[in-house]
Structure 1
């Protein structure tokens, strides 16, 4: 990437100084000429977006940036703008004045364990808000964390790793996982399904590094590091720092569990464990939202229910013009065509009660609106809200047409994808397994790609749950059948080959 100071990005952002660069691109300080403020601009490398996948990558990039921009938390960098220019993708973010956590650690060695606890607690609060969306960061490491002048912590690069890691083989051209091997959870490195538990593992690596001065697993090759992540137990930090509290050492070991199910249940759970080790504050917990004492009593504490139950979405007021269901549908189509998905979701959610009152809850009109609502929620990344809608549609369709009805099965398949995105690996695996016999029975007359995709997802979820032997067997059989359907050399098989190669090397 040849980029020089003074270049204007998107007609308004003047690049000033290079802050850093890595495998995914460069980060510059820049000036927003329109608003006269300093910003940070991330440029993603052209070779990451070249080729026939470019349009899909750009679409996925914009979607992730839009979802990321919806997360409101003081521990996350604010996204100002995003787009593409030529072959490059750009992301404009808040400029954070401070030092990245890697430099902060290097300047303060040994790092006080109380500081490590405070940093990790703030990271948990940010991750709790992120996972509630749900988003998985995928690349949490000290270089992606800034310590501001007032001691508060800000997480960077949210959403970008999610885009770049969605299809590792085609995006890297090397077969190497995107991310940092030293901080990568076993299930992520092996190509398994990722979830909030993946970020918690990375948090455990960061916390171990802050306390001991080094990552728990290092090596001269990526494969060597991966092998250690998979098979070697981490060194308990108290052997290096006896002054570290035993409870803190136990928490780090739980975060670094090989099996995701043995890690803490959520970032909220980890925060509560860390909060007990922080200096004591007022014992009374503040009331509800908008309580101005809360930031002083529990700085950056996540709301206890956010990671479990989505915040209720206020229904948009239905204007007289939207009382006409047909007009509202036309407006939704227009908004979707313009990429204004969030606004389309609000209109669909607001018009559904009106449509039900006019046409009846079980009418074809309302059923069609609910299908569009669920699909738009999924496209907007609002999986927690889409899941109950899809389950309702699946149950209604199955009651009317039978459990093997293609429509009911498709709603269940979409619901399983929501579970997967929410990090509910075991529940998603069970749903995919229950769906597979239906699609295999309809293999000749149905879509031959869908059962292959379900089997691929099953293999990745088995990896995420730590069952590498079952994942290996599943993917080997899948590879054989995919060769018959697609013929050799298809990109679908290339991904399976890569995962099996890694899995075989590590098993060997």
Structure 2
């Protein structure tokens, strides 16, 4: 062991089973080594906590109990835990250790540093994809009653195949253990830059504390900067409790308002105003990521990092962008307007003057054929189909200039007008026939009185009788 209590290369743990080969990473609480499992003949990652953390028996008991709970987690995005134990040195010091799955790849911290060097920040699509995978892992751990409490880029691995793995559940606390205080024996469990306000205040911790840390991590991925930073852990914790973070779009103009609102909700001071569960936040991240794919290539790929820093803290979006809803927070899928398609059946004219059909989709209407009038005798014309009347009287259509090739719509009243004209003509013919018959009858009567009737006798006036005698 080294002077600070960390294991060194060549040292073995677990009664010689795990042989440390090289240092993979080191933090303020633990060190991670690549080790060889001599029993199962495989490479593993062994995380050894610093000696001072294992001096308290209560801490060691809780660590052992939680390590057993983490070992039951089986998820694609969680680094599997194979074993845990305590190594006792010759001087009697105890070193707790955890044996984990070895992920061949890079820590998210290294991936982010490369993106900052190349672009100033990580592309939005990549950052949202990694965040969704981390939330999927937290969803599984929260279902088992485990809060990670130390989500940060250093505890997330990205394999060579692009698989995201969340590790370092060794300091997670079981919700059912009843111990949810932030401090233990004067030690702050977690990284100050990613602590939730309730952690900084020493209040109870639940699953929503991890969501706050995820919001800090996503803020850093998209801007290349921390939402809160300072010279000491106390000053950083104070900012988490009292200050509002700037909008990410003030640091990276390629970030859309939807991403701004997503991060703003995750970083609410009050846990009740954050996402209720990791599942709810993951679904929102996936929805925003899907919308980002439909945006411009600039928003989805190349960040535009502003070098002068945030312009205004008040630029952060308000809660109106994310109304507070209990339970599921799925946002309805936006309705997409479909292109115009004529509905089947009789067409109801619009309540305004007819217009020339759009040239993009000319609708050619079939000409209306009037009902043929019967040839024998007079019959009532066939009833015309009912048509919805227009809201106000129709005036005689005025010819409108239009393109020569645009077809003119057929007049809906042509059938009725034609039938009325035909009926009028027939009635006129009948009246004319009656007049002709009447004239002929009168002519025949005059002829009968002239030649056929006997003429009246001629009476000679011979004067008075006295004269005749």
Cα distance in 2 for partners of 1:33, 1:246 equals 53
Secondary structure of 1:85 counterpart: strand
What's the counterpart of residue 276 of structure 1?
Answer: 287
CA contact (8 A) 1:138 1:199 kept: yes
- After superposition, the C-alpha distances for 1:87-121 in whole angstroms (9 at most, x for unaligned) are 11111000011111111011012210101110111
3-state secondary structure, aligned to 2:31: strand
How far apart are the structure 1 equivalents of 2:159 and 2:188? 30
1:14 aligns with 2:16: no
Q: Size of the alignment, in residue pairs?
A: 277
Q: Which residue of 2 aligns with 1:62?
A: 64
Q: How does 1:465-476 map to 2 (within 5 A)?
A: none
CA distance 1:85–1:111, change in 2 (3 Å):
same
Check 1:161–1:128 CA distance in 2 against 1; reply closer, same or farther (3 A cut). closer
Q: Which residue, 68, 85, 88 being the options, matches 2:87? A: 85
Which residue of the partner structure matches residue 30 of structure 2?
Answer: 25
Which one of the candidate residues 84, 91, 102 is aligned to 2:109? 102
Match of 2:189 among 158, 169, 178: 178
Q: In the TM superposition, what are the counterparts of 1:198-277 in structure 2 within 5 Å?
A: 198-277=209-288
d(CA) in 2 for partners of 1:68 and 1:170? Answer: 20
Contact between 2:32 and 2:46, CA under 8 Å: does it hold in 1?
yes
Instruction: State the match for 2:436 in structure 1.
Output: none
SS at match of 1:278: helix
Residue 167 of structure 1, CA deviation? 6.2
Greater RCO between the two (CA within 8 Å, min separation 6)? 1
- Following superposition, the deviation at residue 23 of structure 1 comes to 2.3
Instruction: Give the secondary-structure state (helix, strand or coil) at the position aligned to 2:147.
Output: coil
**TM-score, normalization by structure 2:** 0.56
Task: Please list the CA deviations of residues 42-79 of structure 1 after superposition, one character each: whole Å capped at 9, or x if unmatched.
Answer: 111222122xx32x332222211111111111100000
**Structure 1, unpaired ranges of 5+:** 282-306, 309-508
CA distance in 2, matches of 1:118, 1:190: 31
1:128 to 118, 131, 139: 139
Q: Secondary structure at the match of 1:277?
A: helix
Larger Rg: 2
The superposition leaves residues 294-314 of structure 1 with CA deviations (integer Å, 9 ceiling, x where unpaired) of xxxxxxxxxxxxx99xxxxxx
The 8 Å contact of residues 161 and 179 in structure 1, kept in 2 or not, is answered as no
1:170 is displaced (CA, Å) by 4.7
Question: Equivalent of 1:46, from 51, 57, 61?
Answer: 51
2:7 aligned residue (3, 6, 17): 3
Contact 1:147/1:154, CA 8 A, preserved across alignment: yes
Task: Give me the whole-angstrom Cα distance separating, in 1, the residues matched to 2:53 and 2:180.
Answer: 12
RMSD: 2.2
